[in-house]
């Protein structure tokens, strides 16, 4: 179940990703993703997306009300 608090964490995490991509000039960022740790299917898809992306990856983990929320993206050419 997504709560208002979880949505706040997801929104916050996506804003962090957007700012990082702009600030650090990750021109070729792709596979922007997030997953909630308490939903195994999301975590599996998160890792699949990371491994399918090119070159490097960047991940951030936030502590949410029900567990951790993972955010990330791939970068490179």
21-71 confidence digits (pLDDT tens): 777 667 778 888 889 999 999 999 999 999 988 888 888 888 877 889 898
Higher pLDDT, 5 or 47: 47
Sheet holding 56-63, edge to edge: 30-36, 68-75, 56-63
* Residue spans per domain, the chain: 4-75
C-alpha span between 37 and 43 (Å, rounded): 6
Residue 1 has what pLDDT?
44
Query: Confidence class of residue 18 from pLDDT cuts 50, 70 and 90?
Result: confident
Residue 41 has what pLDDT?
97
Burial of 73 (0-12, 13-18, 19+ CB in 10 A): buried
Residues paired with 15 in a beta bridge? none
Residue 64 has what pLDDT?
72
Interstrand relation of 68-75 and 30-36 (parallel, antiparallel or unpaired): antiparallel
């Amino acid at each position: 179940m997504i709560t208002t608090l979880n949505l706040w964490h997801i929104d916050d995490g996506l804003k962090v990703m957007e700012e990082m991509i702009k600030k650090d000039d990750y021109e070729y960022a792709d596979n922007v993703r997030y997953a909630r740790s308490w939903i195994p299917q999301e975590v599996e898809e998160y890792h699949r997306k990371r491994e399918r992306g090119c070159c490097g990856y960047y991940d951030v983990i936030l502590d949410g009300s029900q567990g951790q929320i993972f955010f990330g993206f791939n970068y490179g050419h």
